Each structure stands twice: as structure tokens, then as C-alpha cells.
Amino acid sequence: MYRDSRRTRVVLALLILTSFTLITIDYRAGDGTALRGLRSAAATVFGPVQRAVTGVVRPIGNALATLGDLGGLNDEVKDLQAENADLKNQLHQVDDLRRENDELRRLNGLTTRGGYKTVRCRVVAVGADNFEWTATVDCGSRDGIKNDQTVVNADGLVGKVIEVAPFTAQVLLAADPEFTVVGRLAAHGTSGPVTGNGVKPMEMQLLEPTAKVTKGEAIVSQGVQGGIVAGVPIGVVESVSRERSVLTRTVTVKPFVRFTALDVVAVVVQPPRKDPRNAVLLTAPPSPTPTPSPTPPACPTATPSPSPSPTPSGTPCVMPSASPSPSTPPRTFGPPSPSRTP
Amino acid sequence: MPANRVAVLVLSLFTALLLQVTVVARLSFLGAKPDLVLVTVVCFALADGPGAGMGAGFGIGLVEDLLGSHTLGLLALILCVVGYASGVIRSYFDRLSTFTPMLVVGAMTAVAVMAYAGIGALVGDPRIDEDPVVRSLLLTSFYDVVLTPFVFAAVTALRGGPATS
């Protein structure tokens, strides 16, 4: 039975050959149509199963965490423990609901400030290996999701849609090294591509190497046709490289989003009519304490004129639209609060 | 292999893959995840021999490829070879101790990570970087070794007692 027979070897050779053929075809074709069809077929079949399994697994995980060991105890203790576990379980569920509620409120705030039209989804699965940073969400083409659409959560940019099935969609997370977005330093308007870097912070190539960059400055996405929508918070400057090459300068960026703990996300199905510039950022940066801030107060006096005086920092409020002309850098954004520095 | 065993094998592999993408892959400690699919393939190869191992590896690898965003055929190739090799290693033992499956899984995880990184680098995958490769080489191997006794016990129970050569 364990014999390595000749037939086994022939089959092995055939399977290896098939694999190499697939790798070659995929490599040559890139996003070739035939293989793409196969992938979306697999996602169509697996998507509903993943959704179902995630639905089942959540409560079980909670119960397992609270029940503990009940063996070898008398009935009364058992009953009490079960009741206790049940209550604890309920408490956990309440905690979970509270956290979810808070997350949804903040997410709602973000999408409202940006003027994004979104579809709300939950993450049902994540990439299986250590190299690819992807997540599967429980909404698909039936919900109006299309390829390349921007995905955000309450904290900021999550990624973009790369594969759509009827009930699920695959999201390439911004931490993936294949992910690139054009970002802009919110305070002075210098832009450049921001690329994912796995578990390490993201990297931004400043196209204006002489720009003065300080630690803790926020970076938002610059709207690009067919790419990530404008105004989504990406992260804050963590460090600036010393060396200045002739053309660019590298800045490391600490993303706002924690890619290992994703739950509720929103897919932007329609970009805002007006570039929100830095309006999405104006509320305080994501804080770990659950302090819901559903909608920021409107500015006391709406001054849409290009006034040079910045709004007093520390009082976040929504400006109707930030800067009137794209040439002038947005001055409406106050200096970043110190709490944002990592 | 009789039909009911094939059914058990196929169902177990799909269960492992589903658990991997919905639960296990979320348990990312220190930037690396356990690989339940690989552990399951190796355990079945140790129980049922090289033929079952390579078939199981190729099949479930291909499904994982289709669900992922990396090059198609990559995991099919790696898991196929891993399953075959584990089955061949099995033929050198009369009886398996508790530690043999752990050792085999540890070695196979390391081989799989290096093969993934090597082929990924060949086809120009920008994700292949020194840091994640070293991380998963050390951590994923360790997590997989820890998972092995449980998976192996489950596999042995599912197929109805330990195999005799």
C-alpha cells in the first residue's frame, strides 16, 4: 500500500507537468480570460459555503471560549456553570454587538463625510497563506460590486476589489505588496504612490523630494480615474528616509487600518461627485477607546472662500468643500494632533 | 483505495480548506499563520501512502489556487510534491511514533515555504520578500508541528484505525 509503484510515479510526473503548465499559462496570460473564468467559478461555488461556515463558527468560538471544563462536577455546579457560561456568552454577544455598532457608526460617519455611496459588507474569509493579503467579503455582483472598487472601513483605506462572484468578492488589502495607491500629504498637498509592504508599514515615494515632511502627518488618497476614490484616509507618516535621491524620497506610512482585524467594511460603489479633499480626515484619528463620534458638528461659520487662516485645530468639523481650486494646497487642515503620532 | 476512503479524504480536505480560510488564517500570530491544509495533506499521505498524498495535494492545492490571488498551479504543484514525498517517507517506517508526523510536517512546511518563495520569485511576484519568507519558515513550521498531533489523530480516527504496511 505504501509502495511507491511505477504507476504512482507516472501519475506524479503528469500532475507536476499539469501544475507547470498552469503556472506558465497564468504567468503568460496575466489576467487572462480563461483562467479568470475558472477562478470566478470557484468563488461562486465556495462563496456561499464560506459565508455559511463563518456564520456557524462565530457563535461556536464564543461558546468554546466561555464554557471551559465542566467534567467531574455535580449537577448543581454544572447547571450553575452552564447558566453562568450562558450569561457570559450573552455578555460577549452584547460586547460584540456594541463594538459592531460603534464600528458601523464610525464607518457611516466616514462614508458620509466623503460623500461615498457604499455597500456594507462583512469579511467572511482571509487569504490562506503568509504572502498574500486578501480578504473575502460577503457581498458580490448581486449587490452591485465591481472590480477595482475601493474598500474602506471606519478607520480608512482597506483595499480594492479584485475578483467578483455573485455573492462574494475578493479584496486586495492595502498591505499587499501588489497594492499601490496615489496618496497625498494632507497638510501640504505633495503626492506620490503608496505601496503595501506586508506586516511592515506601507511606503510612499514622494514625488517632490524637497518637501518638508514631519512625523505624524496624515495621508489621504488622491482620486485617480478608475482607481481608489479621492479623500480616503490611508495612514500617518511614521518616518522619513534620510537619503534624498534626485527624483523621489521614501516615507514610511503607518496605515490607519489594522489589516489583521477586519470585520465590517464598505465598498464604494459610486465615487463622490466632488473631491472631498481632507474632509474625511477632519474627525479625530481612530482611537482604540470606543468613543462613538457619529457625525462631526458643522463649522460655526461656513467659509467656502479660500481663507488663508486655518481652522483652529482640535475642533474637528465638516467643511462643505475644502479647496476651491486644485492648484492651491488645502489650508483648511490644521496641524495633526499629537495623539496621531505612533 | 476503496471508494468510502476516497470520500473521507475529499471531505476532510475540503473541511480543512474551509477552516483554514474562515478560522485558522485569522489566527495570525507574529505575522504568520498555521497551514492546516498542508498538515492535513501530509497526515493523509502518512496514513495512506504516496499515491493518496499526491492526489490529495494536487486536488486541494488547485482549489486553494483558484480561491487565492497568487499564480494558478503554484500550490497544486507544491502540495502534490509534498504529499508524494511524505508518502514515500512513510514507507521507510514500520510504525509511526507520535513524533514522526510532527517531524515530517515541520520539514514539509519548510520545503513548501521555500518552494513557494522560489517559484514566486521566478514569476516575479512582488510579495516575495526576505521578511515574510523567514517569518513563515520559522513560525508556520512551528505552528504546523503543534497542530500535527491533533490532525493526525483525527485522520487516523476518520479512516478507521492506523494503517499497517
Q: What is the pLDDT of residues A14-55, one digit of tens each?
A: 999 999 888 888 877 765 567 777 888 888 888 888 888 877
Interval A204-244: pLDDT, tens: 988 887 778 888 889 999 887 778 999 899 999 998 877 66
Crossing angle (nearest 10°) for helices B3-22 and A33-67 = 80
Other CB atoms within 10 Å distance of the CB of residue A59: 12
Residue to substitute from A131, A136, A199, interface B, most B β-carbons within 10 A: A131
Interval A295-324: pLDDT, tens: 444 444 433 444 444 434 333 434 333 333
Among A168, A270, A255, smallest CA distance to A203 is for: A255
Q: What's the whole-number mean pLDDT along residues A58-79?
A: 53
User: Which residues, at least 6 apart from A6, have a Cβ–Cβ distance to it below 8 Å?
Assistant: none
How far is residue A181's CA from residue A224's CA, in Å, rounded to a whole number?
Answer: 9
A255 confidence band (pLDDT: 50, 70, 90)? very high
- Tell me which range, A128-137, A249-258, B105-114, is most confidently predicted by mean pLDDT: B105-114
Residue A318: predicted pLDDT: 40
Residue to substitute from B48, B72, B74, B100, interface A, most A β-carbons within 10 A: B72
Among A126, A274, A113, A193, smallest CA distance to B69 is for: A126
How far is residue A31's CA from residue A165's CA, in Å, rounded to a whole number?
Answer: 16
Q: What's the whole-number mean pLDDT along residues A99-125?
A: 86
DSSP B140: I
Strand, coil or helix: what is B8?
helix
Strand, coil or helix: what is A268?
strand
How far is residue B97's CA from residue B152's CA, in Å, rounded to a whole number?
Answer: 11
Crossing angle (nearest 10°) for helices A6-29 and B74-90 = 160
- Residue among B18, B51, B62 minimizing CB distance to A49: B18
Residue window 114-143, chain B: list those with CB within 8 Å of chain A.
116-117, 119-120, 123, 125-129, 131-132, 135-136, 140
Give the lowest-confidence range in A273-282, A303-312, B58-67.
A303-312
Q: Strand runs (DSSP E) across chain A, as ranges?
A: 117-126, 134-137, 150-152, 157-164, 169-173, 180-185, 191-195, 202-206, 218-221, 233-240, 249-255, 264-270
pLDDT of A72 > 50? The answer is no
User: Higher confidence at residue B61 or residue B93?
Assistant: B61
- Residue among B31, B37, B71 minimizing CB distance to A27: B71
Residue A33: predicted pLDDT: 63
Residue B98: predicted pLDDT: 82
A-chain CB neighbours of B69 within 8 Å are 127, 132, 134, 162-163, 170, 172
Complex prediction ipTM: 0.81
pLDDT of A188 > 90? The answer is no
Residue A268: predicted pLDDT: 92
User: Which residues, at least 6 apart from A155, have a Cβ–Cβ distance to it below 8 Å?
Assistant: A106, A233, A256, A257, A258, A286
Closest chain B C-alpha to A304 CA, distance in angstroms: 44
How far is residue B20's CA from residue A127's CA, in Å, rounded to a whole number?
Answer: 9
Residue A202: predicted pLDDT: 93
Burial A103-117 (b: 16+ CB within 10 A, else e): bbbbbbbbbebbbbe
The rounded mean pLDDT for chain A is 75
Q: What phi and psi values does residue B75 have, to the nearest 5 degrees?
A: -75, -30
Q: What's the whole-number mean pLDDT along residues B116-139?
A: 83
A-chain CB neighbours of B91 within 8 Å are 2-4
Burial class (CB in 10 A: 0-12, 13-18, 19+), B5: middle
Residue window 68-97, chain B: list those with CB within 8 Å of chain A.
68-77, 80-81, 84, 87-88, 90-91
Give the lowest-confidence range in A37-46, A141-150, B150-159.
A37-46
Residue A86: predicted pLDDT: 86
Identify the residue whose cell numbers are 466616514: A110
Residue of B nearest to A2 (CA): B49
pLDDT of A330 > 60? The answer is no
Interval B98-127: pLDDT, tens: 889 999 999 999 999 999 999 888 887 777
Q: Give yes or no for a contact between A151 and A158, defined as CB atoms under 8 angstroms apart.
A: yes
A-chain CB neighbours of B32 within 8 Å are 130
Domains and CATH numbers, chain B: 3-159 (1.10.1760.20)
